[in-house]
Chains A and B, each alone.
Chain A
């Protein structure tokens, strides 16, 4: 059963770490001072959440958090490809934040009932953090999704670009049946269905439109370690100091 839980923990932790790092690349470059601070702060939350998950993994016998975060090659990361894509312009980063964080909020909401106690406790603890993240995302999407011709068309283009990757969030684990049967996690299928309903409800408040769900071809592979060309450079940069001097403090 340990392998089943570890697989689940790794993919969630890797999502948080990689997107946390990506979003932190906006620090100092955000479109507004206030937004720069808010987005950086949420990126920090994500890295903190990945740390909490790596600590649970460490208690299950995995290497310490810094080692798993900084010493693995891209092929050993289980994050979905959506999280590793370059930031692009702010419209893309916002749309990714909206699509990913909505799924993340629902995933942890489901995990509040997990039979695996450490995960259920973490899910309860970070509920408020995640709640702010989706409040932030929904507010921005509603604002720009119905503001000006330019803002609407920018968001629409980014939404169309991001959706195939967003479907990769729900790439199934080899252990779906065990996770569901053991009451650890309700499964990717249930998560995806709740996510689609939630995304539709927010988009409905804007001038954006969603393509038919069945017309979107999911980009899969991330959960199995098959990544885009963008992940390894991110890892190289993120782990540069640790690789030079693992005892460095700053």
Chain B
């Protein structure tokens, strides 16, 4: 089928038995995860994903796509494949209780950011960082440091070296945001304007 839509172009040809061709790397961007720090002293939390050709482009897109409305003080992005994910537990099972691995391959210990999911349907929230040679080891280390017995459904471990942080001299990027209330949808009183218009037209 001839189409300009890449999703259609990738479809296998019907009746020929041919496999769909491999995705061209220029055809679709990769995804990056976006984390935002709402206030000083508050942890970063996961806000969503962005499509971009690389980490730096992901950062510039994330800045306006995720932090143009509500006040915040910092942002970081990481390629989705560099977010290492634990199992997701069922019911009230604490994920730390199902981490059974005790032995890890030796290697250079590097810092990892650790995130917890503590409410289903909510965002993953940063709890701190640990030093480990692998993401699995980072989760085991996180158990010692951050497992309080409260139920955690899912853990993310991200090597810090893979993260594009906001540098300290970029801290004023959001300085004027509190003045941009007009970007908040609730700032536009559509119903009130309609009512005034209808009253005037009576």
Contact = CB atoms under 8 A, between A and B. Distances in A.
A139 B56 contact: yes
A126 B173 CA distance: 9
Nearest to A142: B56
B172 A127 contact: yes
A38 B63 contact: yes
| Most chain B C-beta atoms within 10 Å of own C-beta, residue among A34, A131, A136 | A34
A125 B176 contact: yes
A118 to B, nearest CB: 16
Nearest to A148: B26
Contact of A37 (B56, B64, B170): B64
B176 A37 contact: no
Contact of A38 (B56, B64, B171, B176): B64
A132 interface: yes
Interface string A41-72: 11011001000000000000000000000000
Interface string A104-134: 0000000000000000000001111101100
Contact of A34 (B54, B65, B172, B183): B65
A32 B26 CA distance: 14
B61 interface: yes
Q: Give the bracket for the number of chain B residues in contact with chain A.
A: 20 to 34
Contacts of A148: 26
Contact of A143 (B57, B65, B176): B57
Nearest to B170: A131
Interface in B157-190: 170-176, 180, 183
| Most chain A C-beta atoms within 10 Å of own C-beta, residue among B54, B57, B183 | B57
Contact of B173 (A131, A139, A140): A131
Interface residues of A, number: 25
Interface in A77-128: 125-128
Contacts, number: 64
A135 interface: yes
Interface string A6-48: 0000000000000000000000000010110110011011001
Given A128-B172, A131-B173, A139-B60, A37 B51 contact: no
A3 interface: no
Contacts of A135: 60, 170
Given A32-B51, A139-B57, A249-B193, A38 B172 contact: no
Interface in A211-235: none
B68 A37 contact: yes
Contacts of B180: 44, 48
Interface in B37-96: 50-54, 56-57, 59-61, 63-65, 68
Given A143-B54, A249-B193, A38 B60 contact: yes
B52 A34 contact: yes
B64 A128 contact: no
A43 B56 CA distance: 21
B175 A125 contact: yes
B29 to A, nearest CB: 8
A81 B129 CA distance: 52
A127 B175 CA distance: 9
Given A34-B52, A139-B56, A126 B176 contact: yes
Which 5 A-B residue pairs are closest in the complex by CB-CB distance? A128-B172, A38-B64, A34-B61, A128-B175, A41-B64
Given A125-B175, A128-B171, A129-B175, 6 more contacts: A38-B61, A38-B63, A135-B170, A136-B60, A139-B59, A143-B56
Interface of A: 32, 34-35, 37-38, 41-42, 44-45, 48, 125-129, 131-132, 135-136, 139-140, 143, 148, 249-250
